[in-house]
Homo-oligomer: A and B are copies of this chain.
Amino acid sequence: MRVAVLAGGVGAARFLTGLLRVVDAADVTAIINVADDERLHGLWISPDIDTVTYTCAGAIDPGRGWGLSDESWRAMDELRRLAEAGGRADLAWFNLGDRDLGTHLYRTTRLAEGGRLSEISAEIAHAWGLEMTMLPVSDDRIATRVATEDGELSFQEYFVREQHAVAATDVWFDGAPAAKPAPGVIDALEQADVIVVAPSNPVVSIGPVLAVPHVRDAVVGRRDAVVGVSPIVGGKALKGPADRLLHELGHEASVAGVARMYSGLMATLVVDTVDEPHVGAVESEGVRCVVTPTVMNDPEIAASLAQTCLDAAGAGR
């Protein structure tokens, strides 16, 4: 059973670890958001790709949820020392671990010599022993921009530097209209038995994936085989600013609001047991609703959730 997963960062990565327990890795393709990539200190940083890679490799730091375990911070400490000595503490807002820097050095060098992000991501995944296919949604540059009352921010500036504590008035994806899907993306969507929209932020993680021309159409064309997992549980995001962002941008931070956003492209939405009272509201959006534990505190729950998604897609056809 071939499975394609539209993926953002932490939530998607945990879902994938579960999926890899119930499906052969060779049959899994993760199609990953790249619009929160950032060039910082000269380095090319791809946070969602790295989170998926490190998590599926069992190398993610479980406490932080991002970056590598057994990490050290000596480069960062030195950068911060130099920045602070010059009154420029503002230069050291994005934490880069020493081991993690190795990834960024490799990626930046390969990009500079003309490598495509999809090739490079595959090389890094291979080095970690991963057997699933990891595809950035595009090899072209797509950049999430967040409009706030204080001006326009990149996604990492919004998310990390400002700790998503500023109100967003608009979000858009620079470069998306001209971007091409990375090689393999459309094929994976067309050939998948099941397409899962992972429990990632619908606006800033799944939004840019769908904004790449042909991707949304490919997903819509497979609507009966598409299953989403709601990133909103009991009206809240488990992590990050999804609930606030949905509110601020005129959506409803609820499973019904998620169903409304996604109803054109999926037949089934999986929601957490705490949202059982809202099954009717979800289904009134034209989306079948499946209830199961979705808070992936351990790999068993993630595996069970993945199996539920596969079963739901089978039932939906």
Contact = CB atoms under 8 A, between A and B. Distances in A.
Interface of A: 40-44, 72, 74-83, 85-86, 91, 96, 98-106, 108-110, 112, 123-124, 126-127
A76 B123 CA distance: 17
Most buried by B among A75, A99, A109, A124: A75
Main secondary structure of the interface of A (DSSP, over half): helix
Given A78-B99, A79-B102, A96-B105, 7 more contacts: A40-B109, A42-B44, A42-B105, A74-B98, A82-B102, A82-B123, A85-B126
A112 B39 CA distance: 11
A106 B91 contact: yes
29 contacts: A40-B109, A41-B105, A41-B109, A42-B43, A42-B44, A42-B112, A43-B105, A72-B72, A74-B74, A74-B98, A74-B102, A75-B101, A77-B99, A77-B102, A78-B98, A78-B99, A78-B100, A78-B102, A79-B101, A79-B102, A81-B127, A82-B102, A82-B103, A82-B106, A82-B123, A82-B124, A85-B126, A86-B123, A91-B106
Contacts of A78: 98-103, 106
Contact of A76 (B40, B91, B102): B102
Contacts of A76: 102
Contact of A43 (B41, B74, B86, B98): B41
Nearest to A113: B91
A106 B42 CA distance: 10
Copies of this chain, count:
2
Contacts of A77: 99, 102
Contacts of A112: 42
A86 B41 contact: no
Contacts of A91: 106, 109-110
A127 B75 contact: no
Contacts of A80: 102
B85 A127 contact: yes
Given A75-B105, A98-B74, A86 B42 contact: no
A126 B109 CA distance: 31
A157 to B, nearest CB: 14
Contacts of A85: 123, 126-127
A91 B102 CA distance: 12
A42 B109 contact: yes
A108 B42 contact: yes
Nearest to A129: B85
A41 B108 contact: yes
Contacts of A100: 78
Contacts of A43: 41-43, 105
Contacts of A74: 72, 74, 98-99, 102
